[in-house]
């Protein structure tokens, strides 16, 4: 960056205030649309069954201290999918 392009702290803060005030005055409709939340997605029946199966199966693939065994997470995922298919 060249020296003639540098801003002082005061100039920078004034520029930020100008930008934010400009957004507030011209973007009132933007502020109201941002507040609208999207409806939450409902879990599918399969996802609900899978999460329940994963919780029950995961205990077999963990160490006593609660950490995953080597390759345990991958095996637990497969076992949970298999349990849901039954």
- Are both 29 and 57 inside the same structural domain? no
Burial (Cβ within 10 Å: 0-12, 13-18, ≥19) of residue 25: exposed
Q: What pLDDT is stored for residue 58 in this prediction?
A: 96
C-alpha 45, offset from chain centre: 22
Instruction: Note down the domain range covering 58.
Output: 45-85
Q: How far is CA 80 from CA 30, 43, 66, 69, in A?
A: 44, 17, 18, 16
- Are both 28 and 9 inside the same structural domain? yes
Q: What pLDDT is stored for residue 18 in this prediction?
A: 86
Per-residue pLDDT of 9-66, as tens digits, reads 898 888 888 888 876 666 555 555 566 788 888 999 999 999 999 999 999 999 999 9
- Are both 21 and 53 inside the same structural domain? no
Q: What pLDDT is stored for residue 2 in this prediction?
A: 55
- Are both 49 and 80 inside the same structural domain? yes
Mean pLDDT of 59-86: 95
Number of domains in the chain: 2
56 falls within a domain: yes
- Are both 79 and 49 inside the same structural domain? yes
């Amino acid at each position: 960056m060249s020296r003639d392009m540098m801003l002082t702290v005061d100039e920078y803060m004034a520029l930020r205030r100008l930008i934010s005030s400009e957004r507030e005055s011209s973007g009132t409709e933007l502020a109201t649309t941002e507040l609208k939340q999207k409806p939450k997605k409902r879990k599918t029946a399969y996802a609900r069954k899978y999460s329940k199966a994963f919780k029950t199966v995961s205990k077999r693939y963990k160490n006593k201290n609660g950490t995953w065994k080597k390759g345990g997470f991958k095996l637990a995922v497969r076992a949970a999918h298999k349990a849901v298919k039954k």
